Structure formats: C-alpha cells, structure tokens
C-alpha cells in the first residue's frame, strides 16, 4: 500500500495526569520529581507517551496505574496542549487528564518517582505547561463537583456530613453555610444514612453516610439533575 502520509510532519503524543486527593481537610495534588533531563530534579505531573497499541484513555489509565497501583479510578480527559515549543526536546502534543483518588484507600505510591502529595494551594512550580494544566483541571473539578456527584470519589465509602462539607469547601475554595449545605444534600436524596457513627468527631459521635449510586442512576434515568 502506498504510504500517503510519508511526507507529513510527525509528532510525539503524551498524556499527563493531574491527580487530586482529599485528606479530610485539604484538596491535594500528587506530583513527581523528575529524574531525567530536561528539568531534572523539578516537580512535574505524572505522564507518559502514547503507545501504538493504545487509545488515549488506555494510556492515561496505564500511567495512573503504574504510579498508584489503582484500577477503576475516576479519570476524565481535559484538553489538548500543542504549543510548538512546549517540550524543548521534541515536538510533543499532550492530552491532559485529571483523576480523583481517595487518599485513605491509597497507601502506597511507586517510590521510583519520588512522588509526594501537596496541598493544592502550596504546590511547587511545575515544568513546561503543567501549571496551566493544573489550573484548568481545578476549574473543571469545581464545575463537575456542582453538576455531578464526582466528589464522592475523593471520600472513603463511609463518611460524615462534616467530611462531605469539608470536601466541597476544599474543592470550591470557600466556606459554606452548614444548614444550607445539609439541606441541599438531603434534598438530592442520594445518600444512605447508616446506623453507625464516627465517634472521633464528638462525644455523641456523628452519623455515617454512604453514596447510593444505584439510587442516583435510577433518578438520573428519570430526569434527575445533580446540582449543588
């Protein structure tokens, strides 16, 4: 077969993952310390190049799994970055993804990459255009958290209402009125209140809840719209 593309320019394709977590108080981002040039020793997003046998989603999943060891993580494609000189080594296009990880279930990180969690507002400067990717990811996360129940991906399976409010305050970067927040959450009718309490929060303890995904999906099929 005649190679119709032989005279076309070639470029590498990479995926970069913005990995968010929550520690019950702060929204965090997982970064790695780069161990090769250029920009050796500087902080970076976790990324890798697309292989010929992969789709972009498969490549992002591989990169994330290699760092965290986790499967079935919430992963969403953000946008492409194609500035001609964004990588000083070779022309490289990058597709950015963001992932949501429950830190309490995530106990091990591949030590090969010197990875570290940072509070989102205390994270160091990043290489190339990774800072731009993070800013866009935060804006997308804030929008998604108010229109889809993706915030629950950052929480343990069982959580208190206080933990849930703290999560949304961390994502949105603002304090929320407790009564209004609880009323909104209860109005959505997608939580299951358990006959269990977290006794660490107070002497009387706080009731634990869990996200009822089956009920949520049934409500969506009936036209329900998640909105905070």
In terms of Cα–Cα distance, which of 224, 103, 107 is closest to 153?
A: 103
pLDDT in tens, 72-115: 889 999 999 999 999 999 999 999 999 999 887 765 677 777 88
Strand ranges, E, within the chain: 12-22, 27-33, 43-44, 46-49, 74-81, 92-102, 116-119, 159-160, 191-198, 206-211
pLDDT at 113 (0 to 100): 79
pLDDT at 199 (0 to 100): 87
Cα end-to-end distance, the chain, whole Å = 56
Residues of the chain with pLDDT > 90: what percent?
80
CATH of 12-147, one of 3.40.50.300, 3.90.79.10, 1.10.1740.10, 3.30.70.141: 3.90.79.10
Q: Where are the domains of the chain?
A: 12-147, 155-221
Q: Are 95 and 15 in contact (CB under 8 A)?
A: yes
pLDDT at 106 (0 to 100): 64
- Report the mean per-residue pLDDT for the chain: 93
Which residues, 6 or more positions from 23, have their beta carbon under 8 angstroms from its beta carbon? 103, 104, 117
pLDDT in tens, 116-168: 999 999 999 999 999 999 999 999 999 999 999 999 999 999 999 999 999 99
d(CA 13, CA 95): 8
Fold category of 155-221 in CATH: Arc Repressor Mutant, subunit A (1.10.10)
Inform me whether the pLDDT recorded for 30 exceeds 70. Answer: yes
């Amino acid at each position: 077969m005649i190679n119709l593309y032989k005279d076309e320019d070639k470029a590498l394709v990479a995926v970069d993952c913005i990995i968010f977590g929550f520690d019950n108080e702060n929204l965090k981002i997982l970064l790695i310390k780069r161990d090769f040039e250029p920009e050796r020793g500087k902080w970076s997003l976790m990324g890798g190049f697309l292989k010929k046998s992969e789709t972009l989603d498969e490549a992002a999943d591989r990169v994330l799994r290699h760092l965290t060891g986790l499967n079935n993580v919430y992963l969403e494609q953000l946008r492409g970055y194609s500035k001609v000189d964004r990588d000083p080594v070779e022309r490289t296009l990058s597709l950015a993804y963001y992932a949501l990880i429950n830190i309490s279930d995530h106990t091990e990180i591949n030590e090969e990459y010197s990875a570290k969690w940072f509070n989102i507002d205390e994270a160091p400067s990043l290489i190339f255009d990774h800072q731009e990717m993070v800013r866009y990811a935060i804006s997308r996360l804030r929008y998604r958290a108010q229109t889809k129940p993706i915030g629950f991906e950052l929480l343990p399976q069982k959580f208190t209402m206080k933990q849930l409010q703290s999560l949304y305050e961390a994502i949105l970067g603002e304090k929320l009125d407790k009564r209004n927040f609880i009323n909104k959450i209860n109005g959505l009718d997608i939580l299951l209140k358990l006959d269990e309490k977290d006794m660490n929060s107070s002497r009387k303890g706080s009731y634990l809840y869990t996200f009822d995904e089956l009920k949520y999906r049934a409500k969506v099929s009936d036209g329900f719209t998640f909105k905070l």
